[in-house]
Chain A
Amino acid sequence: MQFVTSDLIQLLIGIVIFVTALGAAIFAGRALGIFPREWLNLHEWAFVLKILGIIIFALALHLTSIATHFPADEFIYGRF
């Protein structure tokens, strides 16, 4: 049961990251408009959000066991 729960949590984390990254890629220009301009300009917001993204990605890679245990070298497109 613990295994299933952990799998589901990881699946949810994966979905959230995927949807966030996809959404950010598609709506990046429009989404940046919601951040207050009096603090930072659009360019600076994009910069800060990318740093935040790097931290989130690093945490996701470090904390999810599925990522730390996956033998990615066994599945590479170029392995032919």
Chain B
Amino acid sequence: MFQSTEFWAIFLALIGVFWLLPAANARWRAAALAAASLVALYFVVGLQLPLIIIVAATPIWLHVAIRLTHTLGQRWPTIAWAVGLLPILVAWVVGKEAAALEASPLSVLFFIGFSFVMIKCWTFLRDYHDGRIGEPELLMTAGYIFYFPTYISGPMHYFGEFDDAVRKPEKLNRQTLVDSVFRAMLGLVKIQLLVPLVMPFSLVVFQETGPTNPGALIGAAFAYSLVIWLDFSGYCDLAIALSRILGLRVPENFNNPYFASNIREFWQRWHITFSRVLTSYMFIPLVRTLQARSGLHPRIIAFIAYVATFAFCGYWHGPTLNFLLWGLYHAAGLIVYDIYRSRRRSSHAAGMETSGASVYGRWVRQGMAVALTFSFVSMGWILFALPLSVLVR
């Protein structure tokens, strides 16, 4: 996407139009973003006209849905939210399943970026019915849903963040411009130069033939860790940098994830904008609901919520069994880490563990924790990158 001439032509035109429009008129700025994004989705992302119509209809449906369910939402916000999201969720699931079966014309619904659009719709409706956003303007919603620098790979901003950014754009000065261009170039180097350099040593080479031996598979998994981070963070660098040139602040998506010292911390540093959606819009509501209604032990509730949340996380990434297993693998990791953490706390409370380790000892311990977490995550990428048919061959 960022490699095409059309992309840069549309982006440069947008900069001109965007900055010519008066800062006070957020509606027109949102309209410019929406229009340029639709053009980019057609010419750059390559969505066919029927899919462009579906994407373009999404914000209209969201506004119809919030009007229709406004009264219902005052009493039962969750039901109102579910009613609004249902058609989008059904289309998303049908598209995914059709693509997995490789046999249906409905697989056209499995189009690039739909998973991100679905999450944006989800959080938009939830935020509206929970009162976190006021009455949205249609043009702003359209700009939010279509916004093309973040359309393919995120970061996933919330509607409130996008609305704020468009209404209060940051001034572009010499420093911001150089910082942004530097970051954009770094993103391009990651995507265009470093990814193809590491890719031949990664799991990608086994996607057709399967692994030759366990050692090669493990080595390729570590290399794939680099590939996926370089590619994904490279796209996010570009999206964030280009947004800053437009004066729009987009949240960060990575914070040195492979330096995390446990799996919980990894998910606070990797794909941050998706993790926060999963935490705030799925995990916590699920825990609260189960606490209020099930009478189960808090730890059992947390385990159920981990499994449900990460099963969804896996399915969101792909409709095949390997993605689901990848999600459950991470849920298992989080459950094991929670047990370990609570036992360690109990040991501390009982005074059984000494806390007076030397600085060197703490460094070694921290290093081992980072290496263990990185290894766990890297082995997980095997399930993410390779279909089961290839793995069990």
Instruction: Give me the interface of A with B, judged by CB distance under 8 Å.
Output: 10-11, 13-15, 17-18, 21, 47, 50-51, 53-54, 57-58, 60-61, 64, 66-68, 70, 72-73, 75-80
Contact = CB atoms under 8 A, between A and B. Distances in A.
A72 B3 contact: yes
B11 interface: no
B27 to A, nearest CB: 29
Contacts of B228: 77
Contacts of A53: 182, 185-186
B153 A77 contact: yes
Contact of A70 (B115, B154, B186, B195): B195
B318 A80 contact: yes
B318 A66 contact: no
Contacts, number: 89
B193 A72 contact: no
A56 B215 CA distance: 37
A14 B197 contact: yes
Contact of B191 (A18, A54, A66, A72): A72
A75 B199 contact: yes
Contact of B194 (A18, A47, A77): A18
Contact of B188 (A10, A57, A73, A77): A57
B168 interface: no
Contacts of A10: 197
Nearest to A70: B196
B153 A76 contact: yes
Given A66-B193, A76-B235, 15 more contacts: A14-B193, A15-B197, A51-B178, A54-B181, A57-B185, A58-B185, A68-B192, A70-B196, A72-B191, A72-B192, A75-B204, A76-B231, A77-B228, A77-B231, A78-B113
Given A47-B175, A75-B204, A77-B153, A61 B192 contact: yes
Interface in B182-241: 182, 185-186, 188-189, 191-197, 199, 204, 228, 231-232, 235
B317 interface: yes
Interface in B152-192: 152-154, 175, 178-179, 181-182, 185-186, 188-189, 191-192
A68 B189 CA distance: 11
B192 A50 contact: no
Interface residues of B, number: 34
Contact of B197 (A54, A66, A75, A79): A66
B192 A67 contact: yes
A17 B194 contact: yes
Nearest to A47: B178
B367 to A, nearest CB: 15
B116 interface: yes
B1 interface: yes
7 contacts: A47-B175, A50-B182, A57-B186, A72-B195, A78-B115, A78-B152, A80-B115
Nearest to B151: A78
B35 interface: no
Contacts of B195: 70, 72, 75
A14 B194 contact: yes
Nearest to A79: B112
B275 to A, nearest CB: 14
Contacts of A79: 112, 152
Nearest to B323: A80
Contacts of B182: 50-51, 53-54, 57
Interface string B93-132: 0000000000000000000110110000000000000000
A61 B188 contact: yes
